[in-house]
Amino acid sequence: MRIKIIMLMILPLLLVECKSSLWNQITKKESKLYTDSELIMLDEVTASIDFKYGFEPDLELDYVFKAGKFTDKEIEAKAPEMKKVLVKYKPEEIIAFYGKIVQLKNVQTSEMNYHRQKKNWENATYIEKYILPESEMFLDILEKNMIQINSSYGDEIKKIKEKNAVN
C-alpha cells in the first residue's frame, strides 16, 4: 500500500518535469545544416532583403521566408542591399553559402516529392505552396547578386547546381 501511495505522489512530479525547459532542450529538434559562422552569414544576407530563416521541426526542414507582407517587386528592389552584404565575405565563403542554399532548396524539393509519393498531401502542399517558392526566390536573388559581384561565380554556380541536382 505504501508503494502505491509513493507512486501516486511521484507521478505528478514526473509529469510536471516533462514540461520543463530541460525536457524541451533534450527533445528539441534543430537545424544541422549550418555552422555557427554560416548562421551569422545567413542572418546578415537574409536580413538584407527582408527575409529570415527558420527550421520546421515537424518536417525537419530548413527554410528562408519573407519577413513580412512584401510583394515580389519590393523584394527584388532590395536585391542591391544583398550585394553590399556579400561583398564583405571571401569568395570561398560566398560559394560555400550558395551551396548550402542550393542544398536547402533541394532538400525541400525532395521532401515535397517524398510526401507526394506517400500521398501525404497536406505536407506536400505546404512545402510546395509556402516553403519552396520563397526559397527559390531567395536563391534566384542570391545568384544574380553573386554574378554581379564577380562574373566568374557563374561557373561555380553551374558546378554546384550540377552536383546537387535533384533526380
DSSP state of 69: S
115: pLDDT strictly greater than 90: yes
Query: Residue 123's pLDDT is what?
Result: 94
Cα 147–chain centre separation = 23
Rg (CA), the chain: 21
CA 81 to CA 42: how far, in whole Å? 14
Query: Which three three-digit cell numbers place residue 147?
Result: 554574378
Beta strands in the chain (DSSP E): 51-56, 61-66
pLDDT at 142: 93
pLDDT in tens, 80-91: 999 999 999 998
Those residues whose C-beta lies under 8 Å from the C-beta of residue 129, and which sit 6 or more positions away, are none
